[in-house]
A = this chain, B = another copy of it.
């Protein structure tokens, strides 16, 4: 059993600032989207992923991977978005198990409507507080952490 290397004061402060800042940030973004456009943050992100995909469609599995959630979560989310009219399910013709989630016109419109406010909030609450050096360090550091936590095969 190795000796535990506890966090020193500086590490503690870093950890707390990061955790709490992140929690507040996500809450703020969620509230902004919900009140200004009637979309949750998670739904917004799903729409973004679809809008960036070729043909505005993605396999359910790929959507789950892209959004870092479970497959069942995506199933329910897509049902929700379908009910709202922003997404439709399209069967896959090369894989009869498969399903595409495809962005509808209404979904694209919703995204276009919601995006400016969201980007504004991201700027106001995050990027406006970052120096270029902050940004560079954050980008590289989290990219490293991401690579460590989800190694690409």
Q: Measuring CB to CB, which residues of chain A are less than 8 angstroms from any residue of chain B?
A: 4-7, 10-11, 13-15, 17-18, 20-25, 27-28, 68, 115-116, 119-120, 122-123, 125-127, 129-131, 133-135, 137-146, 148-150
Q: Output the least CB separation between A112 and chain B (Å).
A: 11
Query: Contact: A7 with B119, CB < 8 Å?
Result: yes
Q: A5-B123, A116-B4, A123-B5 are in contact. Are A141 and B130 (CB under 8 A)?
A: yes
Whether A21 pairs with B119 at a CB distance below 8 angstroms is: no
A20 CB, nearest partner CB in chain B, Å = 5
- Which of A11, A123, A141, A148: most chain B CB closer than 10 A? A141
Give every chain B residue within 8 A of A7 (Cβ-Cβ).
119, 122-123, 127
CB contacts (< 8 Å) of A18 on chain B: these are 138-139, 142
